[in-house]
């Protein structure tokens, strides 16, 4: 048998620093800018009223400083500023002596050196950015180092661990971006502009329009950070209703929209969207029907409009809440999403250990995770959900009419949702009742109540509740505002 190669001798030694080889990262000093730190402190000492305030407005904190004495001095300066004390070198020195902090800063000589370090504060803003950038780099290094250590410990739930790693990086970004504070004058101008546009009829909806008039009036549009639950029994058309809203936002309004379909493939979703938009009954093709020229023109037009839209579809079956949030974050970062739609909640899963022991706990984690995603990305999220058999067990005029308590595992969903719409079609239950009594079911058309549908807005955190009258066109898998059905397209 041939001798086995000696990999130890032939492999590169990454720890060997000789001959320009790569250094051990653990021995490399972290990113820092000591000169820029001293420059900031020097400006704050020389003109405290101007530059301490600017540092605070720029969201500079002691943690941004790498050098420990600089952190301590910054804390003292901001404390002086908050207490409205005059920052003067002699009094400041005595303050540090009294509290045993002068030696920690480096003594009187170090304090004097910092004071005289920057003869001009002209570069204060650029030095502020340098210090903050170095702080971000150190944060990334620390976060990655912690994640590497945790990865070596072989975490039990890898998906939750991965979601945590991604969340740490996002927290660094959010902390770096901070928030922009507007003056009261700017806010008043913005509110008055909206008021004037509203009076002029130029602005009636503040959120995303769904194109369902009564729903838009109740909700004032789908607003950022809101979670809109659309719940129904099977065969009520909740997927069609959701896709009608998606079509309006993604195709007509050209706004980035992502659909997570746990039940249907992306090809099925696009097929339904395409033929519904073209107002062509796809079921006709199964009976040997050949489209006429007008049909083909509408289908071609619809295909081009959908192809040029900002619609993205993920058809991962039984997607976990962690995977969905990770994919949504990346797509939002890359494409700028303005709406997310999910079909449907009960087909998702949670991979946490607690969720594996309780379905109710799992639904609660998924519901809370989707609401957190809406708040994190600051966009509305539409979520489809199943109802239990409650509507079918009712009698008389209440047959089929859903209630919020019919939501499966409803406690957490009711709590997390900003708006809940319960979809049902009266004709569907009338036909079921007729079949049970041995009578001929009515056609699902727009006459004598057949084809009528209702979206019962049972919860609306920011507006009124009530019923949204709709008409369902089964051949097109399409819901339309009832008053508009029959009018020219």
56: domain CATH number is 1.10.860.10
Q: How far is CA 193 from CA 118, 186, 198, 221, in A?
A: 45, 11, 9, 18
Q: Could you tell me which residues come within 8 angstroms of residue 336 by beta carbon, excluding any fewer than 6 positions away?
A: 256
Give dist(CA 451, CA 447) in Å, integer.
7
Task: Indicate the Cα dihedral angle 364, 356, 386, 379, nearest 10°.
Answer: 50
Please tell me whether residues 73 and 112 are part of one structural domain.
Answer: yes
Sign of CA dihedral 268, 272, 277, 283: positive
- Positions annotated as catalytic residues are 263
Extract the tokens encoding 257.
């929209």
Please tell me whether residues 312 and 365 are part of one structural domain.
Answer: yes
Asked if residue 201 belongs to a domain, the reply is: no
Q: What angle, rounded to 10 degrees, do the helices at 48-57 and 68-82 form? A: 110
Please tell me whether residues 384 and 475 are part of one structural domain.
Answer: yes
Mean pLDDT score across all residues of the chain: 78
Residue 18: per-residue pLDDT: 38
CB 299 within 8 A of CB 280: yes
Asked if residue 191 belongs to a domain, the reply is: no
Residue 99: per-residue pLDDT: 82
Q: Of 127, 161, 178, which one is at a domain's C-terminal end?
A: 178
Please tell me whether residues 215 and 163 are part of one structural domain.
Answer: no
Residue 84: per-residue pLDDT: 67
Q: Which residues of 132-143 are buried (b: 16+ CB within 10 A; e: fewer)?
A: bebbeebbeeeb
Extract the tokens encoding 197.
């546009």
Over residues 408-429, mean pLDDT: 80
Other C-beta atoms closer than 10 Å to the C-beta of 38 total: 21
Sign of CA dihedral 442, 443, 449, 455: positive
Query: pTM above the 0.85 mark?
Result: no
CB 420 within 8 A of CB 427: no
Please tell me whether residues 150 and 287 are part of one structural domain.
Answer: no
> Is the pLDDT reported for residue 164 higher than 50?
yes
Please tell me whether residues 138 and 284 are part of one structural domain.
Answer: no
Give dist(CA 463, CA 218) in Å, integer.
6
Asked if residue 140 belongs to a domain, the reply is: yes
Asked if residue 310 belongs to a domain, the reply is: yes
Encode pLDDT of 7-49 as tens digits. Answer: 343 433 333 443 444 445 556 788 888 899 989 988 888 888 7
CB 42 within 8 A of CB 130: no
Total domains present in the chain: 2
Q: Which domain holds residue 407?
A: 207-484
Encode pLDDT of 112-132 as tens digits. Answer: 888 888 777 778 888 988 998
Beta bridge partners of 339: 257
Q: What angle, rounded to 10 degrees, do the helices at 321-335 and 359-377 form? A: 10
Encode pLDDT of 293-317 as tens digits. Answer: 888 888 888 888 888 888 898 888 8
CB 458 within 8 A of CB 465: yes
Asked if residue 277 belongs to a domain, the reply is: yes
Residue 338: per-residue pLDDT: 92
> Is the pLDDT reported for residue 3 higher than 50?
no
What does DSSP assign to residue 121? -
Extract the tokens encoding 247.
């079509």
Please tell me whether residues 149 and 292 are part of one structural domain.
Answer: no
Please tell me whether residues 263 and 387 are part of one structural domain.
Answer: yes
H-run or E-run covering 260: strand 257-261
Please tell me whether residues 118 and 256 are part of one structural domain.
Answer: no
> Is the pLDDT reported for residue 223 higher than 60?
yes
Residue 11: per-residue pLDDT: 38
> Is the pLDDT reported for residue 351 higher than 90?
no
CB 370 within 8 A of CB 416: yes
Asked if residue 254 belongs to a domain, the reply is: yes
Encode pLDDT of 427-472 as tens digits. Answer: 777 666 655 555 655 555 444 444 788 888 988 888 888 888 888 8
Asked if residue 9 belongs to a domain, the reply is: no
Q: Is omega for the bond preceding 344 within 30 degrees of 0, making it cis?
A: yes
Over residues 148-164, mean pLDDT: 80
> Is the pLDDT reported for residue 380 higher than 90?
yes
Q: How far apart are the first and last CA of the chain?
A: 81
Please tell me whether residues 325 and 446 are part of one structural domain.
Answer: yes
Encode pLDDT of 172-192 as tens digits. Answer: 766 665 544 445 566 566 666
Give dist(CA 474, CA 55) in Å, integer.
62
- Given pLDDT bands bounded at 50, 70 and 90, which one contains residue 372? confident
Asked if residue 382 belongs to a domain, the reply is: yes
Residue 445: per-residue pLDDT: 46
Give dist(CA 161, CA 128) in Å, integer.
34
Please tell me whether residues 365 and 451 are part of one structural domain.
Answer: yes
Residue 447: per-residue pLDDT: 44
CATH of residue 414's domain is 3.40.50.300
Please tell me whether residues 100 and 222 are part of one structural domain.
Answer: no
């Amino acid at each position: 048998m041939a001798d086995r190669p000696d990999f130890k001798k032939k492999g590169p030694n990454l720890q060997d620093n000789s001959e320009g080889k790569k250094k051990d990262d653990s021995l490399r000093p972290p990113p820092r800018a000591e000169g820029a730190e001293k420059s900031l402190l020097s400006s704050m000492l020389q003109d405290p009223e101007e530059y301490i305030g600017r540092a605070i407005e720029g969201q500079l904190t002691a943690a941004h400083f790498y050098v420990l004495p600089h952190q301590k001095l910054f804390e003292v300066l901001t404390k002086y500023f908050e207490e409205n004390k005059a920052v003067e070198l002699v009094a400041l020195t005595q303050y540090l002596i009294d509290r045993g902090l002068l030696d920690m800063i480096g003594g009187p000589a170090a304090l004097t050196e910092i004071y005289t370090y920057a003869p001009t504060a002209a570069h204060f803003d650029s030095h502020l950015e340098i210090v903050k950038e170095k702080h971000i780099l150190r944060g990334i290094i620390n976060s990655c180092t912690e994640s590497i250590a945790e990865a070596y410990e072989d975490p039990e739930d890898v998906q939750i661990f991965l979601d945590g790693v991604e969340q740490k990086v996002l927290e660094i970004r959010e902390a770096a971006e901070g928030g922009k504070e507007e003056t009261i004058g700017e806010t008043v101008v913005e509110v008055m502009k909206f008021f004037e546009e509203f009076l002029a009829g130029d602005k009636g909806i503040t959120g995303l329009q769904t194109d369902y008039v009564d729903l838009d009036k109740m909700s004032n549009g789908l607003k950022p950070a809101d979670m809109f639950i659309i719940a129904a029994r099977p065969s009520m058309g909740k997927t069609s209703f959701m896709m009608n809203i998606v079509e309006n936002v993604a195709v007509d309004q050209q706004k980035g929209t992502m659909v997570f379909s746990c039940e249907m493939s992306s090809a099925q979703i696009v097929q339904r969207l395409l033929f519904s938009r073209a107002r062509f009954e796809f079921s006709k093709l199964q009976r040997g029907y050949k489209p006429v020229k007008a049909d083909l023109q509408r289908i071609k037009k619809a295909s081009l409009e959908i192809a040029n839209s900002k619609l993205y579809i993920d058809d991962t079956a039984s997607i976990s809440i962690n995977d969905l949030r990770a994919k949504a974050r990346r797509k939002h970062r890359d494409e700028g999403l303005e709406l997310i739609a999910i079909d449907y909640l009960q087909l998702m899963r949670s991979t946490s250990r607690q969720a594996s022991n309780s379905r109710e706990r799992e639904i609660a984690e998924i519901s809370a995770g989707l609401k957190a995603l809406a708040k994190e990305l600051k966009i509305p999220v539409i979520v489809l959900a199943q109802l239990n058999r409650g509507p079918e067990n009712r009698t008389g005029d209440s047959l089929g009419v859903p209630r919020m308590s019919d939501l499966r595992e409803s406690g957490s969903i009711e709590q997390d949702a900003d708006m809940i719409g319960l979809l049902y079609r009266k004709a569907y239950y009338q036909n079921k009742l007729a079949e049970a009594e041995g009578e001929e079911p009515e056609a699902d058309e727009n006459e004598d109540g057949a084809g009528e549908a209702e979206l019962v807005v049972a919860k609306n955190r920011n507006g009124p509740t009530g019923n949204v009258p709709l008409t369902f066109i089964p051949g097109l898998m399409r819901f339309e505002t009832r008053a508009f059905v029959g009018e020219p397209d």
